[in-house]
């Protein structure tokens, strides 16, 4: 442990009320990035953060973009240890439907949940203001106790994450030299449970495709044309059904190229996690795993690729009944990727598969809905090991190394544009209701999150 860490932790405990006051002030700013009516509030949030960071001794500034501004801050007094780039986002989701909130969404307060947990309420409390303020408050404590941070830190806070981050890639590319560091720290993740911290080491990639098949030149009467005319819904349904075999494997040629087997150490750790497959599926009214045979549910969720049909459209779907053979049928299909799977190759394989099963008198068109590769962090990395030990010490539990079934696009952007791996460490809970009414962030997550980042910064500076 760094010699200053105990004093830093004591300072955090003593200043918790002031830390909450600052977080509440930030939550009160309705920085909704998707609604142009809140453009001024997004700018106000950026200015608030820049002022706070400048007050801590950072070289902080608000950087304009084509959309909402970025906040960039540097503290580079350390002479050894890694240089870290910490990322968060100050924008929040819209609050609709407002009538489902039990309190005004931008009037934060401390509440007691049904299970007795103390929590911070308000839009952005968990996603992502409460999360990234844990790091800011850890920096504040280090500055107060030691006069400087134990390692060099750059902070990047964006204002468009909830609206697709349209300005992020151009900003990273234009400021590559300034923002490059040894490792990125991303806090937009969760703990395993309320007592067990987690480091997310794997993110699945994504390919989104929309396919439309056209048969006849117009919708047809099923009594006059039934069986004689091709029904594109029949055709599309049969083609989509063939994407997976009876064992749950995806049938696209070359689909599993680049899919690794789970390392034995990680597989063993996942097996030791307190996870009940029946309870997980039972919460949504299911009981039988439907993915690849012989794979655990956690393995299916975190370490295996998927093919899912997200929607099918065709024919008459209104009230009543209409005996029609539609001219067109369409579907939206997504693939979650792992390992070294290539999004472009997966997209090409899917389109070739569709075309190869199309009758001569039918046509097909495709629409792309994004694509990104999977991200994996080496579990034996030195900085990951230090962060893991620091979290173990703070929470008194073995830190879980987990995967994520979803994607965090900025992690891929850091890798591709800045050449950096990311440590994904957050303190959210599964019941934080992010993006929903009555969003909250556990007080313990906030308090111990600050202490956790303080320990991690100290651990990074200790060889």
Mean pLDDT of 34-40: 97
Phi-psi region at 457: left, alpha or beta (left = phi > 0; alpha = psi -120 to 50): alpha
CA–chain centroid gap for 128, Å, is 11
> What mean pLDDT is reported for the chain?
95
Please say whether the beta carbons of 371 and 206 come within 8 A.
Answer: yes
Is 90 exceeded by the pLDDT of residue 47?
A: yes
pLDDT of residue 417: 95
Q: What is the mean pLDDT of residues 221-225?
A: 96
Q: What count of other Cβ atoms lies within 10 Å of the Cβ of residue 285?
A: 6
Q: What is the pLDDT of residue 92?
A: 98
- Which pLDDT belongs to residue 431? 93
Give the residue carrying structure tokens 């910064």: 457
1 — pLDDT class (breaks 50, 70, 90): confident
Q: Tens digits of per-residue pLDDT, 202-211?
A: 999 999 999 9
Is cis: bond before 97, omega within 30 of 0?
yes
Going by their DSSP bridges, the two strands 422-424 and 183-186 should be labelled as parallel
442 forms beta bridges with 119
Quote the CA–CA distance of 270 and 445 in Å, as a whole number: 23
pTM higher than 0.75 for the full model? Answer: yes
Q: Which residue has the higher pLDDT, 256 or 409?
A: 256
Query: If you search the block for the tokens 């934060």, which residue do you land on?
Result: 108
Mean pLDDT, rounded, for 20-43: 98
Rg of the chain over CA atoms, in angstroms?
25
Q: Residue 128: is the preceding peptide bond cis (ω within 30°)?
A: yes
The answer on pLDDT for 324 being more than 70 is yes
Average pLDDT in the 279-290 region?
91
Of the ranges 343-357, 401-415, 440-454, which one carries the lowest mean pLDDT score? 401-415
Cβ-proximal residues to 70 (8 Å cutoff; 6+ apart), any chain: 46, 62, 63, 156, 157, 158, 159, 167, 171
pLDDT in tens, 80-125: 889 999 999 999 999 999 999 999 999 999 999 999 999 999 999 9
Q: How far is CA 449 from CA 49, 57, 145, 223, in A?
A: 19, 22, 18, 66
> Phi/psi of residue 249, each to 5°?
-80, 145
Which two structure tokens, joined as six digits, stand for 443? 């007080």
Asked if pLDDT for residue 241 goes beyond 90, the answer is: yes
Query: pLDDT > 90: what percent of the chain?
Result: 90
What average pLDDT does the segment 146-154 reach? Answer: 97
Average the pLDDT over 312-316 and give the result.
95
Predicted local distance difference test score (pLDDT) of residue 442: 98
CA-wise closest residue to 329 among 229, 228, 242, 234: 234
Instruction: Say what the pLDDT of residue 228 is.
Output: 95
234-248, 395-409, 448-462: which has the minimum mean pLDDT? 395-409
Please state the φ and ψ torsions of residue 386, each to the nearest 5 degrees. -65, -40
User: What average pLDDT does the segment 335-361 reach?
Assistant: 96
Cα distance between residue 289 and residue 298, in whole Å = 11
Overall average pLDDT of the 413-434 stretch: 94
Answer yes or no: is pLDDT of 343 > 70: yes
Pairing between strand 83-89 and 109-112? unpaired
Domains annotated for the chain, with CATH where assigned, are 5-203+375-460 (3.40.630.10), 205-259+305-372 (3.30.70.360)
Contact partners, residue 402, CB within 8 Å, separation at least 6: 192, 198, 199, 200, 201, 202, 270, 273, 302
Distance CA 340, CA 127 (A): 30
Q: Within 218-314, where are the H helices?
A: 222-225, 232-241, 264-272, 277-282, 297-302
Mean pLDDT confidence for 170-186: 97
> Mean pLDDT throughout 139-143?
98
- The position carrying tokens 């998927």 is 306
Helices (H), 147-245: 168-174, 176-179, 222-225, 232-241
**371 band by pLDDT with thresholds 50, 70 and 90:** confident
CB atoms within 10 A of CB 96: 11
User: Can you list the alpha helix ranges (DSSP code H) found in 334-381?
Assistant: 343-356
Evaluate if residue 463 carries a pLDDT over 70. Answer: no
Strand partners, 155: 73, 86
């Amino acid at each position: 442990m760094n010699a200053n860490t105990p004093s830093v932790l004591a300072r955090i405990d003593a200043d918790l009320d002031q830390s909450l006051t600052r977080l509440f002030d930030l939550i009160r700013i309705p920085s909704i990035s998707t609604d142009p009516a809140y453009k001024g509030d997004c700018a106000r949030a950026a200015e608030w953060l820049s002022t706070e960071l400048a007050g801590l001794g950072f070289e902080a500034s608000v950087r304009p973009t084509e959309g909402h501004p970025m906040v960039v801050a540097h503290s580079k007094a350390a002479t050894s240890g890694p240089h870290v780039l910490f990322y968060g986002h100050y924008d929040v989701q819209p609050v609709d439907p407002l009538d489902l909130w039990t309190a005004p969404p931008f009037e934060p307060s401390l509440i007691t949940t049904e299970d007795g947990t103390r929590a911070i309420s308000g839009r952005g409390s968990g996603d992502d203001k409460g999360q990234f303020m844990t790091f800011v408050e850890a920096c504040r404590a280090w500055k107060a106790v030691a006069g400087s941070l134990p390692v060099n830190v750059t902070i990047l806070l964006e204002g468009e994450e909830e609206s697709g981050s349209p300005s992020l890639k151009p900003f990273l590319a234009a400021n590559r030299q300034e923002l490059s560091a040894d490792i990125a720290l991303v806090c937009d993740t969760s703990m395993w449970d309320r007592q067990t911290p987690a480091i997310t080491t794997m993110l699945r990639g994504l390919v989104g495709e929309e396919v439309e098949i056209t048969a006849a030149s117009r919708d047809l009467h099923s009594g006059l044309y039934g069986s004689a005319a091709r029904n594109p819904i029949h055709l599309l349904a049969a083609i989509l059904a063939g994407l997976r075999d009876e064992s749950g494997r995806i049938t696209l040629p070359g689909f599993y190229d680049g899919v690794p087997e789970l390392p034995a150490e990680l597989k063993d750790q996942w097996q030791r996690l307190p996870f009940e497959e029946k309870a997980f599926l039972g919460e949504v009214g299911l009981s039988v795993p439907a993915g690849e045979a012989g794979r655990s549910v956690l393995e299916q969720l975190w370490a295996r690729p998927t093919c899912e049909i997200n929607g099918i459209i065709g024919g008459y779907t209104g009230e009543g009944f209409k005996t029609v053979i539609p001219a067109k049928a369409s579907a939206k299909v997504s693939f979650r990727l792992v390992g070294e799977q290539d999004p472009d190759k997966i997209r090409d394989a899917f389109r070739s598969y569709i075309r190869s099963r199309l009758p001569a008198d039918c046509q097909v068109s495709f629409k792309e809905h994004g694509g990104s590769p999977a991200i994996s962090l080496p579990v034996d990395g030195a900085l990951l090991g230090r962060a893991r030990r620091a979290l173990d010490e703070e929470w008194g539990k073995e830190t879980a190394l987990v995967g994520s079934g979803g994607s965090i696009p900025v992690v891929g952007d850091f890798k591709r544009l800045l050449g950096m791996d990311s440590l994904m460490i957050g303190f959210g809970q599964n019941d934080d209701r992010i993006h929903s009414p009555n969003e909250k962030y556990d007080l313990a997550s906030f308090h111990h999150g600050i202490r956790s980042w303080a320990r991690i910064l100290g651990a990074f500076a200790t060889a």
